[in-house]
A and B are shown apart, each in its own frame.
Chain A
Amino acid sequence: MREALLDPTGAIAGENDSTLSPRPVTLKGLTVGLLDNTKPNSTLLLDEIAADLRRDYGIGEIKHYVKDYFGTPIKDELFRQIVSEVDIVITAVGDCGSCSAATVADGIMFERAGIPTVSITSDSFAMSGQAMADVQGFPGFQFVMVQHPVASLDSTHIRGRADQAVPEALRILGVTEVA
């Protein structure tokens, strides 16, 4: 039996809202969803970032989610679950052509559902992420770009990527208040 074809852009007809969800100002006590796209080092990078946000910005519960495939946008069932369970989302890592585009598409979906979201790609694939934002009708969507590569790094270097990502994530989320 042939499987139904998915639109790799995740585009939805009539979906053209390019307004960011309300920004939280503070992260204190907020539930943070970490969406892992299964690319190597995604889990470690997200955990390092979340540890910083807990220590310095007082985030509350951390929930982990895993996509079933990195190259296409998140499936609807998992999307709806996350939207119902968290206050903000951080998703990583777009360090290839398809996964950087999908990571940005996921972020835009969450923003349109009212969840402030940080999508993380590597800088080598910024064009892919930006093109997805354009195709989605959200050209101003901002995402974090860490230095490429990510997948091949050891834990020490992933810590460095987290250091790059956190200030940008806070800027994108509009957070100004330290815990």
Chain B
Amino acid sequence: MSDPTASASVDDALASFREMMAADGYLLTWSEAGEDKVVVTIAATEGACEDCLVPLPIMTNIMAKALAPTPYELDHVELPGAVH
């Protein structure tokens, strides 16, 4: 994903969810996974509410929908290890 416009589109698509995750103390990042897929990673920050983390099926649904307007698809979501 060398195209900066494409990168920006993913950032924009995930922006509101990044804010939602931050409200529970989690940091959302993403990375490329092949030509047209991205991996979304959720990491706990200090003081994160472990019990508040959205379950994986729900998280996957949210991310897949969020990326729909972009040229990219969700590969998978990585949650903090303790909640897999």
Contacts and interface: CB of A to CB of B under 8 A. Distances in A.
Interface string A94-130: 0011110100000000000000000000001101100
Nearest to A148: B23
A149 B20 CA distance: 12
State the majority secondary structure of interface residues on B: helix
Nearest to B16: A127
A131 B65 contact: yes
Interface residues of B, number: 21
Given A97-B20, A131-B62, 18 more contacts: A8-B58, A96-B23, A96-B52, A97-B58, A98-B51, A98-B52, A98-B54, A124-B20, A127-B16, A127-B20, A127-B62, A128-B20, A128-B54, A128-B58, A131-B54, A131-B65, A148-B23, A149-B23
A173 interface: no
B19 A124 contact: yes
Counting chain A CB atoms within 10 Å of each CB, the highest count among B51, B56, B58, B62 belongs to B58
Interface in B46-84: 49, 51-59, 61-62, 65-66
Contacts of B57: 8-9, 11, 135
B76 to A, nearest CB: 16
Interface of A: 8-9, 11, 69-71, 96-99, 101, 124-125, 127-128, 131-132, 134-135, 148-149
Given A125-B20, A127-B16, A128-B20, A99 B58 contact: no
B21 interface: yes
Interface residues of chain A: helix, strand, loop or mixed (majority): helix
Contacts of A8: 55-58
A127 B17 contact: yes
A97 B61 contact: no
B11 interface: no
Nearest to A100: B54
A71 B52 CA distance: 7
B32 interface: no
Contacts of A70: 51
B24 A96 contact: yes
B19 A98 contact: no
A97 B62 CA distance: 11
Nearest to A125: B20
